[in-house]
Structure 1
């Protein structure tokens, strides 16, 4: 089984996803008295010795992804995520979707979208050329199937958080071919989120050959499913043509009848057509059966992504601490977080503070807040200004675009 009983049971507990996704309101599950912190493992297998091995230690907020492949004596880490020195940028979205489809075809217990996508999307990122119309429905569906609630009005909160953290479009990310022919990724200028990946062109730690073989294995699995001779029958092709239209979901029953009539029996694809867990599952199944390029049908069935015109800005807010209470930074962060969340515009948190020794003790110098603004920068800055003006702190505070010392943003209230 890809998900053992311990992980399956843990995923059903209310605190699992908040802790696993490092959400702001996640409960503290660290137990300093425990000799061994809770560690859970999932193996997503493709057969032939290929697997992705996810090892998560919730109490330490640490998630490791490793590759098992022929020729590797043991699984090799390809990326990890934590709250400190993370390297989560393992693969582009297209590779994750491909692997989830292939693993689902290999193991009927793992439906796609489902637990694999929800657990591993933190290791995938968006780069130039990615079409959000083909991405959002699958990510939304995966979290919707794994967690209750949270899907009211637009995309799910988990989908939006993933987008904010993993959208590297326009940040100088580019793919190259190494001398050995394997794909590597680098960031050649940066305007936005930084790339943290073991898959750099000069890396000696990433198992390039094994990863390329894994992707080849996945494509072979897809091609085998799509190459069944029964799919060439005229009645099946006609049914597939109807299903690949924008209203194709309405014609799944006719497709199922046509497949049954010609003796097509693939258990995973037939189940996806006849009893999909979500419309997105039927969509990728129809793509596979019809031989369409990966992701081409999703926009036809689901339309434009709610995130298509979205943007986010990471800001740094510095609050001088002179003559302020020690918890002033925390208080402002809490007020900002509440105001931004109520306006559905982002969040804020304390990123650090500075003190200096003086008179046998320490004097609070300043606090640094990390602020995320979504979609409407001007309104977000106005909310920040209002909170700071209410504390008479706007004149001494400094708001900048993160990582840009000269990009100071005025904290004026609108007239």
Structure 2
């Protein structure tokens, strides 16, 4: 079983996803070193091929490995923490393929669901990725597993997108020495969002051949699901044609009835038509049955992703704190983070600071640096930041800049 009882129960607790996703409001108990907590999920596709996810909730570290024939032990693919992470393991299309295959292989792994929610942190996005095909599946995965808004882009989806979006950073997929796809970043030293991956062309650590075998196995499982000759039944083809239209989700019941009448008995795909957790679950099932390219029907059923026009700005706010109360910058940053979040404009967190040595040899704190994220409306975000700085009597000495070259200074209002 890929999700054992301990992990399944833990995922249902309110604090789990906040801790797993490194959210600022994560339950402090999840980081309590006296109660070390480690969990594991194994996502197997048969033929001795499986992904293994080790979750160290206490240490806030998550590692992904691959089990495959010929490997003496699980091969490390990547890891994610808040220090020396290497999370860029796979492309979106690869994760979607694996999630579909896992759903067909193990009915417990409904898609979109736990596979996307747990493993999306190991995706890297580039120019070839289409947010119209991605956003509805990510939203559906989190709606299945975590209470929250039923409409609009989920906060988890937006956060994930901004962390894993490396479009415009010179990302390039090329064939490595063994012919398998590898990723590199042109001008990596100056990229605004660097690539951190073991899957580079010169890597001796990434298990390229075993990874290719895993993807081949996933493709075989999907091919098997669509090899049933009953799918060529005229009534089935007619029903599929109606379902693959723009509002084809209104015709799912006739499709399920036609499939049963023709003798098609793929239980996972039929369940996705009869009792879907989300429209996105029915959508990928129809795509598979109709032999459509991955994501093509998602665009048709769901339309334009709100993230396709989304923008965000990473800023650095420097606060002068010499002579201030010890808690000044902490309180100010907490208020700023709360105000930005409440306004739907982003967030803020302390990133570091500077100090100087006084004449008596002691060190005096001089400044605090705050990382600020502003979404969609920079002018409104700067206005809110300015207002809060004035409220804390910090506007005259604060400095706000972009974190990307040329690091332009932003005038506070």
TM-score, with length taken from structure 1? 0.95
Q: CA deviation at 1:41?
A: 0.5
Alpha-carbon separation, structure 2, partners of 1:151 and 1:204: 44
The reply on whether 1:12 has 2:12 as its aligned counterpart is: yes
Alpha-carbon separation, structure 2, partners of 1:276 and 1:79: 32
Q: Note the alpha carbon deviations across 1:284-327, whole angstroms, 9 max, x for none.
A: 00000000000000011111112110011111111122222222
Q: CA deviation at 1:152?
A: 5.2
The reply on whether 1:188 has 2:186 as its aligned counterpart is: yes
| Structure 2 counterpart of 1:402 | 403
SS of residue paired to 2:217? helix
Q: How does 1:3-402 map to 2 (within 5 A)?
A: 3-28=3-28, 29-34=30-35, 37-148=36-147, 150-151=148-149, 153-189=151-187, 191-358=191-358, 359-402=360-403
Unmatched 5+ residue regions in structure 1? none
SS of residue paired to 2:14? coil
Asked whether the 8 Å contact 1:100–1:116 carries over to 2, the reply is yes
Q: CA deviation at 1:237?
A: 0.7
Alpha-carbon separation, structure 2, partners of 1:404 and 1:350: 21
Number of equivalences: 409
Alpha-carbon separation, structure 2, partners of 1:42 and 1:211: 18
Moved over 6 A (4+): none
Q: CA deviation at 1:153?
A: 5.0
TM-score, with length taken from structure 2? 0.96
Asked whether the 8 Å contact 2:143–2:150 carries over to 1, the reply is no
Unmatched 5+ residue regions in structure 2? none
Asked whether the 8 Å contact 1:15–1:26 carries over to 2, the reply is yes
Asked whether the 8 Å contact 1:170–1:191 carries over to 2, the reply is no
SS of residue paired to 1:384? helix
Q: Note the alpha carbon deviations across 1:377-406, whole angstroms, 9 max, x for none.
A: 121122112222333433322212114364
Alpha-carbon separation, structure 2, partners of 1:166 and 1:124: 7
Alpha-carbon separation, structure 1, partners of 2:70 and 2:131: 36
Asked whether the 8 Å contact 1:326–1:364 carries over to 2, the reply is no
SS of residue paired to 1:325? coil
Asked whether the 8 Å contact 2:33–2:58 carries over to 1, the reply is no
Q: CA deviation at 1:219?
A: 1.2
